[in-house]
């Protein structure tokens, strides 16, 4: 099975319980809308790639970890799109959850997706109890306080923010958790993998800033210029487009350098390079000094 097919199957398995007898059908539909069809699924791909590089021996647990990471990402998008945050009408080229299902179901879908991530880990973790606690703590830390996604979004509500702390929490933390979760699911140490995830996550956020000012709505599937309009911290605004592109290239280089020596190292470096090429739309990417393969 391809990595993509594995991820979709793991997500479908995690989502299966939302249609169980006695569950409210509109909330179930809102949750599915938030998860399918997906974006690039870069976080769960990172989880599975790292698990393989660590000699994956419990694919059920890696699948659950990968699904959990993606469910948490989807939950953060649903809440980030809410009227009180970005008020985004579109996500992945379709109506955002609150536009399609209303604000109440969007709040609930986000909440229930967060919980579902932990249900997914709990269900798979029963067979590998020694791996469960560190996996749970790492993944939860990627989205909670003091340094996960919620903390990153919390910085948007502060009068002053350090851009690096903000980006590290809002994007880097879940990427780091995604990478580390792959190692933990394989019974390996998470620590050597965190820097890879963090650098890739920060690069992702910088690319998003760049696209926010540079890309067209057709390419992104969401309105652009919104982060700037909302006054959100932005690398492209703080350093200009050229400075942001240079920072992106540095972060991609750091991610490639952070891949630990292991049998799967070449595959992982290739994954980072493919992401770099995918992340920036045509115009700015032509100027970016992405390290050669």
Q: Under the rule (CB under 8 A), what is the footprint of a copy of itself?
A: 17-28, 31, 75, 79, 82, 84-85, 101-105, 107-108, 110-112, 114-116, 118-119, 121-123, 125-126, 129-130, 132-134, 136-137, 140-141, 143-148, 150-151, 153-158, 161, 165, 169
Neighbours of 21 (CB within 10 A): 4
Calpha distance 44→283 (Å, rounded):
28
Of 105 and 194, which has the nearer Cβ to a copy of itself?
105
d(CA 109, CA 189): 33
**Minimum Å distance from CB 133 to a copy of itself?**
4
Q: What is the dihedral of CA 18, 107, 47, 215, to 10 degrees?
A: 130
Q: 29 or 90, CB closer to a copy of itself?
A: 29
Residue number with CB closer to a copy of itself (135 or 256)? 135
Residue with tokens 């911290």: 233
For the CB of residue 100, give the shortest distance to a copy of itself in the complex, in Å: 13
User: DSSP alpha helices (H): ranges in the chain?
Assistant: 3-15, 25-35, 42-53, 59-80, 97-101, 103-125, 129-143, 149-155, 163-167, 173-185, 191-214, 217-220, 226-229, 235-258, 265-279, 282-287
Residue 115 or 265 with smaller CB distance to a copy of itself: 115
Nearer of residues 19 and 238 to a copy of itself, judged by Cβ = 19
Spatial neighbors of 40 by CB under 8 A, at least 6 apart, are 275, 278
Structural tokens at position 273: 């390079």
DSSP 3-state of 90: strand
CB of 72 to a copy of itself, least distance (A): 9
Name every residue whose Cβ is closer than 8 Å to that of residue 51 and which is 6 or more positions away in sequence: 59, 62, 65, 66, 182, 183, 185, 186
Q: How far is the CB of 102 from a copy of itself (least distance, A)?
A: 7
Least CB distance to a copy of itself at residue 230 (A) = 11
Nearer to a copy of itself among residue 106 and residue 279 (C-beta):
106
- The least distance separating a copy of itself from the CB of residue 151, rounded to whole angstroms, comes to 6
Grouping H, G, I as helix, E, B as strand and the rest as coil, residue 259 is coil
Q: What is the DSSP string of 196-257?
A: HHHHHHHHHHHHHHHHHHH--HHHHSS-SSHHHHTT---HHHHHHHHHHHHHHHHHHHHHHH
In the complex with a copy of itself, the residue whose CB is nearer, 11 or 53, is 11
Q: Which is nearer to a copy of itself, 29 or 241 (CB)?
A: 29
Q: How far is the CB of 119 from a copy of itself (least distance, A)?
A: 4
Shortest distance in whole angstroms from residue 110 CB to a copy of itself: 7
């Amino acid at each position: 099975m391809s990595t993509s097919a594995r991820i979709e199957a793991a997500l479908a398995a995690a989502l299966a319980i939302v249609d169980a007898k006695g569950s409210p059908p509109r909330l179930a539909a809102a949750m599915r809308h938030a998860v399918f069809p997906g974006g690039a699924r870069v976080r769960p791909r990172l989880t599975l790639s790292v698990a393989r590089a660590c000699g994956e021996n419990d694919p059920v647990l890696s699948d659950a970890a990968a699904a959990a990471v993606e469910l948490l990402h989807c939950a953060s998008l649903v809440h980030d799109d809410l009227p009180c945050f970005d008020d985004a009408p579109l996500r992945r080229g379709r109506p955002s959850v609150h536009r399609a299902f209303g604000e109440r179901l969007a709040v609930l879908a986000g909440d229930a997706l967060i919980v579902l991530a932990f249900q997914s880990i709990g269900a798979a973790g029963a067979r590998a109890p020694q791996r469960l606690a560190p996996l749970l703590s790492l993944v939860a830390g990627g989205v909670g306080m003091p340094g996960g996604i919620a903390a990153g979004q919390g910085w948007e509500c502060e009068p002053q923010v350090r851009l690096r702390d903000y980006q590290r929490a809002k994007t880097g933390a879940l990427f780091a958790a995604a990478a580390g979760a792959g190692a933990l699911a394989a019974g390996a140490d998470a620590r050597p993998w965190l820097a890879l995830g963090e650098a890739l996550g920060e690069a992702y956020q910088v690319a998003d800033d760049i696209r926010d000012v540079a890309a067209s709505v057709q390419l992104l599937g969401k309105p652009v210029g919104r982060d700037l309009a909302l006054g959100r911290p932005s690398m492209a605004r703080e350093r200009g487009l050229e400075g942001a592109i240079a920072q992106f290239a540095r972060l991609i280089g750091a991610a490639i350098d952070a891949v630990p020596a292991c049998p799967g190292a070449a595959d992982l470096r290739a994954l980072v390079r493919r992401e770099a090429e995918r992340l920036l739309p045509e115009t700015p990417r032509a100027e970016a000094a992405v390290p050669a393969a």
